[in-house]
Chains A and B, each alone.
Chain A
Amino acid sequence: MSSPLPPAVASRPSAILEARGLTKRFPGVVALRQVDFDLRPGEIHALCGENGAGKSTLIKLLAGIHPSGSYEGELRVDARAAAFRSVRDAEAAGIAVITQEFALVDALSVAENIFLGRLPRRGWRVDWLEMHRRAAALLADFGLAVDPEAPIHALGIGQKQLIEIVRAMDKQSRVLVLDEPTAALSDQEVGILLDHLRRLRAQGTACIYISHKLTEVLAIADRITVLRDGASVVTLARSAATIPGLIRHMVGREITEQFPRRPAPPAKPAPAEPLLAVRNLCVAPPASAGAFLRNLSFELRRGEVLGIGGLMGAGRTELLMHLFGAWGCRLSGDVVLQGRPYPHPSPRESIARGLVLASEDRRRYGLVLEQEIGFNLSLSSLRQFLRAPGRINQAAEHRRNQELFDSLQIKAPDQHARTSGLSGGNQQKVVLGKVLMIDPAVVLLDEPTRGIDVGAKQEVYALINRLTGEDRAVVLVSSELPELMGMSDRIIMLAEGARGGEFARPEFSPERLLAAAMHAAARAA
């Protein structure tokens, strides 16, 4: 899949950071293949790519999180080979990585966070006065009107982001790596952040900037490297880059017919009412007043697979979790399930009414890992096996478990094997089996093929076809565009919690879908 680098962008010896032929393998997956990348002093170099293109893996190598020896290829800092065994080594070389999950301690003050691990001392005591003085000076340098003694949790996300940068700069970092720094920022905060980055650039700090927001990338980056399927596809100067061009590079791959979607036969007269109807849904995250999911409307009919796509953080998982009753607080809008309004969802009632969810994080939300396969399969359906007085008919339960165990072809000695010992694909089958035993009308599938092998994926696709063939309906969330396009009858792309676009099957194209996912960002520019 790797494409040769265009000759125009061969690196110069002056590169501060250089990667040659990086290849990183995880069990069953090649996350990076022969990636070349270079960063010059005083430049902002953007990394773009779809979810799973390898951006995060690449910065984890640069940050020493994947230590040297766990990958192939060479890293050079100042033209000298570098072998980072840990994050400390990378920091010592002047590389600071700021991820979406801040490394800030909420209970401590701004100043304490800036100097965490390097608190100024006098003898064996912390020199509080010196610390606050230096913190105040640093903050003033950044033009930040923040009290160094304020607790960090009192700060907004944008300010926290800047505090992370202040901390990195105080560590004399020469390379700043920012992973989706603006994902949670308001437009105004984005402006402030970009100004700071430009100022740091002028002072000679180099920056690797990862963002899905292409308008932002074009506004700040000097050069842009696109990753796709773990390979570096192209490196462009800003002057040569356009949004449609970047999107083409990001998705440019052939889609083979590996998704055996069998659309439901349209012969039957379409039932008058949809299984699930969502109208103008607005949902706020827990403990927050502002809407995150905004004004979403859609309908789901029997025998249909509705695909939900979008970039990381677009609200796909939140939408499913909310419909199921496990996330967020509904501000407005209606949900109608099988013709009856469903104003106050809860997992228990959802299951009782035939709406089920197979979560993306099966180890956390799906399975009781230390229990047997059978225990997990029947966990949501024990009522089916009740016999007076409140006793489980274990023989009947065992029979039903065995049916699913066999029909899903779960690879384990028997249904009494512990779930923790199964492969990802087989664990996923247990989660799906549990959902099937409920006999649902609407199945919400969140990334049902994440982290499972090709064979198991095919079985999941077959299962989706079986479900819709039985007149049930499926909502499929997937980060993989080919999968989404291959398995959905209709796709809604989400962008920052709102609808970015809706497409019928004939209209599917990666470019269109991705453009819709970036719709909100593009419009803001």
Chain B
Amino acid sequence: MPIALIGICVFFALRESAFLGPRNLTQLFVEFSITGTLALGMFMILLSGQIDLSVGSGVGLIGGLAAVLVFHHGWPAPAAMLAAFAVALVLWTLMGGLIVVQRIPAFIITLGGLLIFKGLFWLVIRNSTVPVARGDADNLYSLLTTYYLPARAGHALALLVLAVLGVLAWRHRAARRAHGLPVPAAAVVTAIGLATAAGVLGLVEILNRFRGVPLSLVLLAATAGVVHFLTRHTPFGRYLYAIGGNEEAAALSGIPVNRVLVGAFVLMGVTVALTGFMTTAYSGASTTTVGDLMELDAIAACVIGGTALRGGRGSVGGVIFGALVMTALLNGMTLLAVAPETKFIARGVVLTLAVWLDVVFGTAKN
């Protein structure tokens, strides 16, 4: 799979040298932040063996709601976003509740959500284009995807992240050794650490040549950190894996299955709101097509990253990686001015291929 990503990048870079240029990479990473954030929410849903088809429409609706509040009603951006965020929480709590209490399959409930949210979305924006800010003034909403960290802050943040990652890795290694578990050779760890550092600093360097590290990328990194912590270090995350792996056994193990599932949907709502704000801000305005098919990109990113559709398997790292593959593919095709029809086909082929490979290698492993 990493080979596939490199292949995609090399292919596009050869066809269009601007692909790896600072300007395009910056754009690519903003798009990546948007897809990645939504995919992280979807990851927790898939992990528990559920699915959410409504997130694309939801992204449009929540973004549109905030835009209408700002542009038509003159609300300050933070208040508008907070209100829209609350709506997202309510909607996803309701969907999660319906799924666990009425035992209606998530596929059906969220398919209903897809249509309802789409209709609500168009009602809210009255089928028009609603900018995220009045006039040319920036606000918190519009800055989500147009603010870039100053070069120095970017470097500082990168160093801070690297330091934290280094400390965590070192502590993990020490803990494993304390328990007599095998640890990779020091040379290997050092090499991986140096490669990561070089990659991160190099990326910051390139991004700084354009405008700097995009704020949205920082948001994605923070979301990824939180989701990683939740899934790996809390009972909630364990329960997600257990429910996705064997729901009956999970229930008999005393896991509050319903509460955990509703929790996963509420967190999905949180990422939908975040993604809604970012993607609407990225378009500059809410229009009827915002969010179209994003649910499929999110699912594709998860599956490409090794998340099992029937639940119980996957990791944050994989999802981030899958989102990067999907974004690179879309961005590259846009850069090459590939016809939209071809883009659809290419996305479909990549998704199918990823699932097929997952099945082939997944069964081989078992």
A: residues with CB less than 8 A from B are 324, 326, 347-348, 350-352, 357, 359, 364-371, 375, 379-380, 382-383, 386, 390-392, 394-395, 398-399, 402, 414, 416, 420, 434
Contact = CB atoms under 8 A, between A and B. Distances in A.
A326 B366 contact: no
Contacts, number: 80
Interface stretch (B100-108, B124-132, B193-201, B230-238): B230-238
B246 A348 contact: no
B245 A369 contact: yes
Interface of B: 175, 178-179, 181, 229, 233-236, 238, 241-242, 245-246, 248-256, 312-313, 366
The 10 closest A-B pairs by CB, nearest first: A368-B245, A351-B254, A382-B235, A380-B253, A348-B254, A368-B246, A379-B253, A391-B233, A368-B242, A365-B252
Contacts of A380: 253-255
A398 B176 CA distance: 10
A356 to B, nearest CB: 9
B315 to A, nearest CB: 13
Contact of B179 (A347, A392, A398): A398
Chain B interface mostly:
helix
Given A324-B252, A379-B253, A392-B234, 10 more contacts: A326-B251, A347-B251, A348-B254, A364-B248, A365-B248, A368-B312, A370-B366, A375-B238, A392-B238, A414-B181
Contacts of B238: 375, 379, 382, 392
A94 to B, nearest CB: 40
B312 A350 contact: no
Contacts of A386: 235
A165 to B, nearest CB: 34
Contact of B234 (A369, A370, A379, A390): A390
A399 B175 CA distance: 11
Contacts of B178: 395
A366 B249 contact: yes
A368 B249 contact: yes
A368 B233 CA distance: 18
A415 to B, nearest CB: 10
B171 to A, nearest CB: 10
Contacts of B179: 395, 398-399, 402
Contacts of B251: 326, 347
Contacts of B234: 390-392
Contacts of B366: 370, 420
Contact of A394 (B233, B246, B252, B253): B233
Contacts of B249: 364-368
A347 B246 contact: no
B235 A348 contact: no
Given A347-B252, A391-B234, A434-B253, A371 B175 contact: no
Contacts of A395: 175, 178-179
A371 B233 contact: no
Contact of A371 (B235, B236, B241, B255): B241
B49 to A, nearest CB: 11
A347 B253 CA distance: 7
Nearest to A321: B252
Contacts of B229: 391
Nearest to A348: B254
A380 B249 CA distance: 10
Contacts of B253: 347, 351, 379-380, 434
A382 B245 CA distance: 17
A395 B179 CA distance: 8
Contacts of A347: 251-254
Contacts of A364: 246, 248-249
Looking at B178, B236, B242, B313, the one whose CB has the most chain A CB atoms below 10 A away is B242
Nearest to A435: B253
Contacts of B236: 390
B313 A383 contact: no
